[in-house]
């Protein structure tokens, strides 16, 4: 059973006999929302006068190597506490009860609290974390090493699909920050260090290796592609914290754990973060090219009947009104066979081809429709916010 490592649901549920008092209260641990800001400081400048909190490691590793790295990078790792409002479900919502009481009893919203982790990526206070750590939050506070009190943070940008978010805090001090490393140079078996706040235990350090690369997994209603797998211990509350190499560079953002197993944790690789970080910091979202269609597989039986061969294409199951696909004349039940002269193998292949292009780019489609193959020209639009 998979679980996001992201939020520690430290839930204290007080239900005070609703039949007698009609009152229920819930206290848990959860998240926030905020305004868009424009960054003033480059987040990955290797030539910055205030260098990232990375450390040079000698070729001969010693017993103090991990501790030296933690001493250097630890102050750039933060705790994130969030508050959301959630409606308390009432037994009077059930039709069985309503037939006696004649109305729905609403206990109103209750605050729920959560915690997660994050790390500073610029000296002026930009913080990278998981989107699920701050999803739906009305209040976000960040706790830093060396500060007596938590600091209010605002959400600068977030993307649910990639599960990434940027926060901003304002301080009078120049902050330590971490540098994103090159995950392409990471090999299976390389050492990995995780730092975070599992179950509220601040700045917990765990060590392991990279167990695998390129893992796709599904958690709840999210699909993750190309994750790093590690046996460094990751638990609820670790989400959003850094997974580090032996240079003190961030190679992944700790995200999920298999709660039914030991030593199976996952992190979003730095290669996923690098291309979208500027959009999140400057635009508050990730601009993606978009056709505006729903897709499904073409079954082997249908492909055989239609004579489509092994490369079966992608079946259009929905056309979003007003989308680029709708404007181009694409219809439900069309089958996309080619995209810009390239064969479309399946829906995932079509999605990959779209994502490889830019917003506003013109493409040519070859579509199978009611026994005929037709050509359609389409201009990719920007995918709306989810």
pLDDT digits (tens, 9 = 90+) for 83-140: 987 765 655 556 665 555 555 555 566 788 889 999 999 999 999 999 999 999 999 9
- Angle CA 233–236–242, to nearest 5: 60
Fold classification of 183-273 is Thrombin, subunit H (2.40.10)
Cα–Cα distance between 112 and 116 in angstroms, integer?
14
- What's residue 342's pLDDT? 94
> Looking at 25-39, 294-308, 331-345, 355-369, which range is the least confident one?
25-39
Higher pLDDT, 6 or 370: 370
CB of 194 closer than 8 Å to CB of 230: yes
Distances (CA, A) of 68 to 56, 181, 320: 10, 18, 54
E strand residue ranges, 151-203: 151-152, 154-159, 164-168, 191-196
Q: Where are the domains of the chain?
A: 183-273, 289-382
- Residues 38-78: pLDDT tens digits? 233 333 333 344 566 655 555 556 788 899 999 999 999 99
Element of type H or E holding 302 = helix 300-306
Q: Which CATH number fits domain 289-382: 1.10.10.1150, 2.60.120.200, 1.10.20.60, 2.30.42.10?
A: 2.30.42.10
Among 35, 45, 84, which residue's Cα sits nearest to residue 284?
Answer: 35
Q: What residues are labeled active site?
A: 132, 163, 239
**pLDDT per residue as tens digits for the range 132-176:** 999 999 999 999 998 989 999 999 999 998 999 999 999 888 999
């Amino acid at each position: 059973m998979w679980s996001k490592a992201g939020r520690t649901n430290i839930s204290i549920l007080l239900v005070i006999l609703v039949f007698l008092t009609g009152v229920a209260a819930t206290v848990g641990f959860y998240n926030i929302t905020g305004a868009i800001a424009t960054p003033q400081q480059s987040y990955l400048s290797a030539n910055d006068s205030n260098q990232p909190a990375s450390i040079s490691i000698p070729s001969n590793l010693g017993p103090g190597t991990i501790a030296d790295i933690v001493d250097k990078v630890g102050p750039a790792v933060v705790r994130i506490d969030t508050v959301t409002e959630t409606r308390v479900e009432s037994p009077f919502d059930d039709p069985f009860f309503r037939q006696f009481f004649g109305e729905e009893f609403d206990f109103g919203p209750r605050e729920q609290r959560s915690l997660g982790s994050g790390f500073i990526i610029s000296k002026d206070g930009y913080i990278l974390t998981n989107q699920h750590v701050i999803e739906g939050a009305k209040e976000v506070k960040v706790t830093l090493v060396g500060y007596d009190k938590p600091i209010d943070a605002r959400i600068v940008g977030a993307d649910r699909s990639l599960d990434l978010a940027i926060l901003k805090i304002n301080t009078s001090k120049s902050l330590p920050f971490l540098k994103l490393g090159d995950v392409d140079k990471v090999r299976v078996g390389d050492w990995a260090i995780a730092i975070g706040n599992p179950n509220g235990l601040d700045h917990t350090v765990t060590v392991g290796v990279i167990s695998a690369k390129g893992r796709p997994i599904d958690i709840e209603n999210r699909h993750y592609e190309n994750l790093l797998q590690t046996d460094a211990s990751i638990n609820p509350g670790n989400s959003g914290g850094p997974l580090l190499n032996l240079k003190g560079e961030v190679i992944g953002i700790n995200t999920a754990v298999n709660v039914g197993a030991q030593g199976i944790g996952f992190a979003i690789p730095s290669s996923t973060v690098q291309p979208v970080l500027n959009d999140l910091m400057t635009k508050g979202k990730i601009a993606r090219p978009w056709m505006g269609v729903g897709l499904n597989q073409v079954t082997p039986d249908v492909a055989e009947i239609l004579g489509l061969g092994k490369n079966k294409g992608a079946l259009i199951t929905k056309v979003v009104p007003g989308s680029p696909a709708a404007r181009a004349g694409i219809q439900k039940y069309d089958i996309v066979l080619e995209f810009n002269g390239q064969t479309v193998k399946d829906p995932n292949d079509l999605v990959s081809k779209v994502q490889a292009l830019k917003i506003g780019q013109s493409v040519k489609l070859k579509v199978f429709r009611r026994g005929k193959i037709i050509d359609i020209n389409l201009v990719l639009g920007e995918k709306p916010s989810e």
